[in-house]
Homo-oligomer: A and B are copies of this chain.
């Protein structure tokens, strides 16, 4: 069974290369970018401007193939890829919650961008804490290192 998707737009950001890019929106505070939605999909943006944050789903287009075990940016040990947010996944879909500042002519101005310039956009969803937020959580191997996400940058390990 093959599932065929088509990009609905493209994400623009200051990051032309993986080297030195923030690895999560929490490490990209204030970094501005934009989302260009292709013309045929723009009417679907109606009402989105009421939301301060959006979920972007996109293709990790620079990632080739996949690895089931990876050493994530925040660690020095091999982890199962599904226990990480690493890009080299069987289905290379990325997820970022970003701040939405403005929409005009099919262009979304966004902040907290941890995404490569030129990334194909797959979907936009409104971020709704009542749907998406969990409290009282355990975060496994990330428990002691997740705070470092604010400073850690990516490198060339997933090229």
Whether, in the assembled complex, A107 has its beta carbon less than 8 Å from a beta carbon of chain B, the answer is: no
Q: Is A125 an interface residue (CB 8 A)?
A: yes
Report how far A129 CA is from B79 CA in the complex, Å: 19
> DSSP class of A's interface residues: helix, strand, loop or mixed?
mixed
Chain B contacts for A12, CB-based, 8 A? none
Q: Note all chain B residues with C-beta closer than 8 A to A41.
A: 68, 82, 90
Residue of B nearest to A77 (CB): B47
Question: Is A81's CB within 8 Å of the partner chain B?
Answer: yes
Is residue A31 within 8 Å, beta carbon to beta carbon, of the partner chain?
no
A123 interface residue per 8 A CB criterion: yes
CB pair A82 B44 closer than 8 Å: yes
A69 on interface, CB distance cutoff 8 Å: yes
Count of A interface residues, CB-CB < 8 Å: 70
Q: Closest approach, in angstroms, between the C-beta of A132 and any C-beta of chain B?
A: 6
Which residues of A (83-109) have their CB < 8 Å from a CB of B? Answer: 83-85, 89-91, 93, 95, 97, 99
Q: Which A residues are within 8 Å of any B CB, using their own CB?
A: 1-8, 24-26, 37, 41, 43-53, 55, 57, 59, 68-69, 78-85, 89-91, 93, 95, 97, 99, 120, 122-143, 146-147, 149
